[in-house]
Amino acid sequence: MSEFEFMRGMTFGQYLPTGSMIHRLDARARIVIFTAILGAVTISRSYTGLILSLVMACVGLALASIPLRYALQGLLPPLPFLVVLAVLQVFLNPGDGEVLFQFWVMKLTAHGLFTGAMLLLRFLSLVLGLTLTTFTLSSSELILGLHLLLRPLGRLGLPVQDVVFMVQATLRFIPFLMQSAERVVKAQASRGAPWGKGSGGPLRRARQAMPMILPLFMNSLRRAENLALAMDARGYGSHDERTSMYELHFRLLDWFALGVSFLLAAGIVAWGR
Amino acid sequence: MSPLIEVEDITYLHDVQDAALQPALCGVSLQVEAGEMVAVVGSNGSGKTTLARHLNGLLLPTQGKVWVSGLDTTIPENRPQILSTVGMVFQFPEDQMVSTVVEEDVAFGPENLGLPREEIRQRVEAALREVGMWEARTRPPHLLSAGQMQRVALAGILALHPRCILFDEATAMLDPAGRRMVMEMMHRLHREGVTIIYITHYMEEAAQAERVIVLDQGKVALDGCPNEVFADEGRLRSLGLDMPPAVSAAGLLREVFPQLPEDLLTMDALLAALPAAEESLSQPQKPAPQFAVGEAMIEVNGLSHTYLLDTPFAHQALRNVDMYVSKGGAQGLIGGTGSGKSTLMQHLNCLFKPFTGQVRVGPFDFNQPEVSVYQVCQTVGLVFQNPEAQFFEQYAGDEIAYGPRLQGLDRPALRQRVRWAMEMVGLDFEEFKDRFVYTLSGGEKRKVALAAILALQPEVLLLDEPTAGLDPQSRLELIAHLQTLRKAGITLVVSSHHMDDLASLTDRLLVLHKGDVAMEGTLGEVFSGVEALLALDLAPPPAALIADALRKKGWPVPVNVINFAGLAKALANFSGGAR
């Protein structure tokens, strides 16, 4: 057990290849479905709709054969913030209506309780939905799907190719950055660096962070330079038209899943209003 | 027919503006014919990598010309053709991974060439099958071992169907098994007609080429077949290089076996050429196993460790490990990538708290909740692999002073401490304290990193791959300083893929295999178990290999032979029986 194991407790942002029904959907379909549902959750003002989305997220996790307990672990880190936010919402935005309980200027109303619960529900659905997305959509599928979805924009002269590749390189960097940060922090702690011991003013703390940040920065630069060289050596940009190894096929199931998810998205937004 | 690669009198300056700067390459001319296998060697900073990058047009010469199959590298239109003729595999495996999935990474090159989909699929499959990574095609590269990543990188080059492949220290970051695999792959490609050019710091690898080019300060110092290049030991050493171990050993053995042929360059050739004893000589008795004795400095009992516990990615890195190091002792750790060496090291300075089992170092019981790395770091110093990657100060002196300054030393004491630490690693205080860290050579940086830990005056020094990436001369120097520290009474724990380092630094060895203790004992006990080590994919030191081969041929060689000095002594004892 160690305070230095950064990768642990990070369920968010991991890809879990379970080979489930959801994993087998066309990458483009998954991108559109997740975007539609998450968008609907974000704008929905319907109480029943949000409950529906929470139920759906759990059903989605089950369909994707992801252990529910593991997915719920990802909720733990943001939970205290969400609860504080919800409580603030309850008291700061009481609205009009019958006052159930009053203390000084704090008013507890049915409306306040309702908006607090809405906020909590919305964020839980969003976090679970995003977790489900990263569990079932690998970064390479995301890249390929984006590439194919955005290709029509390329005809308008937009640099879709380069933008998609930038996303890919960024995603490749995340696990590396975590590993690198872990190594740097361990190395400096071994020399007595006060990692995680917050003391002194902000300036002092910023100075304490330099030994961690500077090598991380330098290592990332070195790595970016090497990556650029390796890409160069393999002929990136030496030919006008890049091709792709993959070809995606939309099947009946993909259209079906797309239809169902649009219906559900509509339900999340409009049900009970 | 014109040569595949022709280099005509090239000079390269890193910065054309700065005339005072020493050119990285200075008037280099050479030709490489199709189908050759060429090794390029030279000390750090001799211009090897700069030269290699000229051969596929990644760098363009300041003066002179490079032609690749008749195409001038300075003409931009030739670029796609040149890049698909000469492929390059780089030193750091993970830096070359472009994609998040293995097969996609291999497809990157052909996709850049704009090949049709079916053709890309065929090439990717053929390339991955060639390097034996077809089964791993859907895995993310960052979860592969360094050796596997290097094979994927090679597949990415093979998919371009190059006529020539450059390997820029492609084995430097690999464990013995990974290195052997990459070397075998080079030989196979060479037999299939691909031209191979490789840069290496390992002389035993250079000895396997058909031709060796030695660079020194940007110039070609030697160029010839390995027999010629490795004939003059004095000249090689003056160029900062070493002899291949097989050549040194052959010289030693020839005093007893004058009939040994002259051109023994590789261990395989040497071992095969050893003569059998005429009559069966009585073998010396195997001594009883010795146990570590003396006051304990490090005690590890039943230590286990699991990474990413409670997640689907959990994997056990250590299983029930016991270790005992006496005060002033020196313990070596051996094992391939992923065997748990680094995890064990990080338990010894309390970066990891023992999850199951006990760890006790000096006065500290790591199982006590209040003990943390901040108290332990003054007793136990850990030098990480490639420690210079963690430098953050501008000046070498400040970098070394960082640890003691945090301890609250006043200025005179701090200065004294830094001076002492620098002297311990052979850096002159006045000369080096105000040097910019980034202008130091690889060997000097490694010494600064070591001094930065020594400045805390630890009683125990933990070293993770201390010589990785150093050229032969810097390696020997560093080892000499570590030997001095040992004599001064410091307790050492060293992990290394380089068995010769362990043979000269440590007295006991612990062999880890996938988190389990596979072997434990004195150097002689472990290294004489040649078959067991080979079965674990590890490489015993050359002297132990030769001793084992001699024993098998009936010669009475004691089991404690681990270095050439010991081998020479053993040979002197039975030189009479040879003739």
Nearest to B353 among A1, A17, A229 (CB): A1
Inter-chain residue contact A238 with B96, CB threshold 8 Å: no
Q: Is residue B286 part of a domain?
A: no
Inter-chain residue contact A233 with B83, CB threshold 8 Å: yes
pLDDT of residue A216 exceeding 50: yes
pLDDT, residue B98, reads 84
Contacts of A166 in chain B (CB under 8 A): none
Q: Is residue B283 part of a domain?
A: no
Q: Does A220 touch chain B (CB under 8 A)?
A: no
B479-503: pLDDT as tens digits: 999 999 999 999 999 999 888 899 9
* More confident of the two residues B93 and B4: B4
* Contact pairs from chain A to chain B, CB under 8 Å: 185
Which burial class, exposed, middle or buried, applies to B500 when counting CB atoms under 10 A from its CB (0-12, 13-18, 19+)? buried
Provide φ and ψ at B493, rounded to 5°. Answer: -130, 120
Q: Does B532 touch chain A (CB under 8 A)?
A: no
Mean pLDDT of B151-156: 94
Question: Smallest Cα–Cα separation from A132: which of A41, A79, A68?
Answer: A68
Q: Is residue B291 part of a domain?
A: no
Nearest to A235 among B109, B153, B392 (CB): B109
pLDDT of residue B333 exceeding 90: yes
Question: Smallest Cα–Cα separation from B532: which of B329, B334, B317?
Answer: B334
Inter-chain residue contact A2 with B142, CB threshold 8 Å: no
pLDDT, residue A105, reads 67
**Same domain membership, residue B265 and residue B234:** no
State the pLDDT confidence band at B167, using cuts at 50, 70 and 90: very high
Domain coverage including residue A39: 21-159+246-270
pLDDT of residue B475 exceeding 60: yes
pLDDT of residue B574 exceeding 60: yes
Q: Does B113 touch chain A (CB under 8 A)?
A: yes
* More confident of the two residues A6 and A93: A93
Contacts of A227 in chain B (CB under 8 A): 95-96, 98
Query: Which of the residues A190, A197, A212, A241 would you substitute to probe the B interface, choosing the one with the greatest number of B C-beta atoms within 10 Å?
Result: A190
Residue of B nearest to A12 (CA): B311
The highest-confidence range among A204-213, B143-152, B172-181, B318-327, by mean pLDDT, is B318-327
Contacts of B161 in chain A (CB under 8 A): none
Smallest Cα distance from A144 to chain B, Å? 10
- Report H helices in B394-467: 396-406, 411-424, 429-432, 442-454
Q: Does A196 touch chain B (CB under 8 A)?
A: no
Q: How many other CB atoms are there within 10 angstroms of residue A13's CB atom?
A: 16
Inter-chain residue contact B389 with A219, CB threshold 8 Å: yes
State the pLDDT confidence band at B332, using cuts at 50, 70 and 90: very high
pLDDT of residue A1 exceeding 70: no
**Same domain membership, residue B150 and residue B10:** yes
Domain coverage including residue B140: 5-241
What is the C-alpha end-to-end distance of chain B, expressed in Å?
52
pLDDT of residue B164 exceeding 80: yes
B60-89: pLDDT as tens digits: 999 999 999 999 999 988 988 998 899 999
Inter-chain residue contact A243 with B120, CB threshold 8 Å: yes
Smallest Cα distance from A154 to chain B, Å? 17
Q: Does B138 touch chain A (CB under 8 A)?
A: yes
**Same domain membership, residue B137 and residue B84:** yes
pLDDT, residue B290, reads 73
pLDDT of residue B579 exceeding 50: no
Q: Is residue B524 part of a domain?
A: yes
CATH number at B320 reads 3.40.50.300
Q: Does A214 touch chain B (CB under 8 A)?
A: yes
State the pLDDT confidence band at A197, using cuts at 50, 70 and 90: low
Q: Is residue B175 part of a domain?
A: yes
Residue of A nearest to B308 (CA): A8
Smallest Cα distance from A230 to chain B, Å? 5
Percent of chain A with pLDDT over 90: 7
- For chain A, positions 39-68, list CB contacts with chain B under 8 A: 67
The highest-confidence range among B1-5, B44-48, B62-66, by mean pLDDT, is B62-66
Smallest Cα distance from B135 to chain A, Å? 16
pLDDT, residue A199, reads 55
Q: Which helix (H) or strand (E) holds A88?
A: helix A79-92
> Total structural domains in chain A?
1
pLDDT of residue B308 exceeding 80: no
pLDDT of residue B578 exceeding 70: no
B263-297: pLDDT as tens digits: 888 988 999 998 888 766 666 667 777 776 778 99
Nearest to A242 among B80, B114, B308 (CB): B114
The highest-confidence range among A8-17, A78-87, A203-212, B453-462, by mean pLDDT, is B453-462
The highest-confidence range among A132-146, A197-211, A254-268, B182-196, by mean pLDDT, is B182-196
pLDDT of residue B128 exceeding 90: yes
Report the distance separating Cα B430 and Cα A12, nearest Å.
51
Q: Does B353 touch chain A (CB under 8 A)?
A: yes
pLDDT, residue A147, reads 82
Contacts of B156 in chain A (CB under 8 A): 234
Smallest Cα distance from B218 to chain A, Å? 22
Nearest to B92 among A14, A226, A241 (CB): A226
Inter-chain residue contact B390 with A231, CB threshold 8 Å: no
Q: Does B234 touch chain A (CB under 8 A)?
A: no
Inter-chain residue contact B101 with A140, CB threshold 8 Å: yes
Mean pLDDT of B518-540: 90
List the structure tokens of B317.
């890195």
pLDDT of residue B379 exceeding 50: yes
Q: Which helix (H) or strand (E) holds A265?
A: helix A252-270
Q: Is residue B75 part of a domain?
A: yes
User: What is the SS3 assignment for B93?
Assistant: helix
Q: Is residue A60 part of a domain?
A: yes
Question: Smallest Cα–Cα separation from B88: which of B196, B191, B192, B216?
Answer: B196
Q: Is residue B281 part of a domain?
A: no
**Same domain membership, residue B309 and residue B221:** no
pLDDT, residue A188, reads 87
A17-48: pLDDT as tens digits: 788 888 888 888 999 999 999 999 998 888 88
A50-69: pLDDT as tens digits: 999 999 899 999 998 888 88
**Same domain membership, residue B548 and residue B530:** no
Q: Is residue A59 part of a domain?
A: yes
pLDDT, residue A10, reads 54
Mean pLDDT of A179-206: 76
Contacts of A199 in chain B (CB under 8 A): none
pLDDT, residue B422, reads 93
Contacts of A229 in chain B (CB under 8 A): 58, 90
**Same domain membership, residue B208 and residue B326:** no
Smallest Cα distance from B175 to chain A, Å? 20
Q: Does A218 touch chain B (CB under 8 A)?
A: yes
- Report H helices in B465-575: 472-487, 499-505, 523-527, 530-535, 542-552, 564-573
pLDDT of residue A166 exceeding 90: no
Calculate the average pLDDT of chain A: 81
- For chain B, positions 370-389, list CB contacts with chain A under 8 A: 373-374, 377-378, 381-382, 384, 387, 389
Mean pLDDT of A90-115: 75
pLDDT, residue A251, reads 85
pLDDT, residue B440, reads 85
List the structure tokens of B218.
């940007």
* More confident of the two residues A139 and A119: A119
Mean pLDDT of A161-186: 81
**Same domain membership, residue B251 and residue B234:** no
Report the distance separating Cα B422 and Cα B60, nearest Å.
40
Inter-chain residue contact A138 with B384, CB threshold 8 Å: no
- Report H helices in B285-439: 341-348, 373-376, 396-406, 411-424, 429-432
Q: Is residue A38 part of a domain?
A: yes
Q: Is residue B306 part of a domain?
A: yes
Inter-chain residue contact A138 with B308, CB threshold 8 Å: no
Q: Does B115 touch chain A (CB under 8 A)?
A: yes
Q: How many other CB atoms are there within 10 angstroms of residue A146's CB atom?
A: 18
Q: Is residue A235 part of a domain?
A: no
pLDDT of residue B158 exceeding 60: yes
Report the distance separating Cα A25 and Cα B546, nearest Å.
59
**Same domain membership, residue B458 and residue B408:** yes
State the pLDDT confidence band at A6, using cuts at 50, 70 and 90: low
Nearest to B156 among A172, A234, A245 (CB): A234
List the structure tokens of A11.
């369920």
**Same domain membership, residue B169 and residue B122:** yes
Q: Does B307 touch chain A (CB under 8 A)?
A: yes
DSSP string, A199-229: -S-HHHHHHHHHHHHHHHHHHHHHHHHHHHH
Q: Which helix (H) or strand (E) holds A34?
A: helix A27-43
**Same domain membership, residue B216 and residue B108:** yes
**Same domain membership, residue B265 and residue B168:** no
Q: Does A242 touch chain B (CB under 8 A)?
A: yes
List the structure tokens of A8.
């642990």
Domain boundary among B195, B218, B241: B241
pLDDT, residue B510, reads 96
pLDDT, residue B18, reads 65
State the pLDDT confidence band at A3, using cuts at 50, 70 and 90: low
Q: Is residue A226 part of a domain?
A: no
Q: Does A187 touch chain B (CB under 8 A)?
A: yes
**Same domain membership, residue B518 and residue B410:** yes
pLDDT, residue B479, reads 94
Calculate the average pLDDT of chain B: 89
Which burial class, exposed, middle or buried, applies to A81 when counting CB atoms under 10 A from its CB (0-12, 13-18, 19+)? exposed
Q: How many other CB atoms are there within 10 angstroms of residue B462's CB atom?
A: 27
Query: Which of the residues B85, B100, B121, B367 would you substitute to probe the A interface, choosing the one with the greatest number of A C-beta atoms within 10 Å?
Result: B100
Contacts of A235 in chain B (CB under 8 A): 79-80, 83-84, 109, 112-113, 160
Angle at B66 between CA B60 and CA B72, to 5 degrees: 90
> Total structural domains in chain B?
3
List the structure tokens of A76.
């733990």
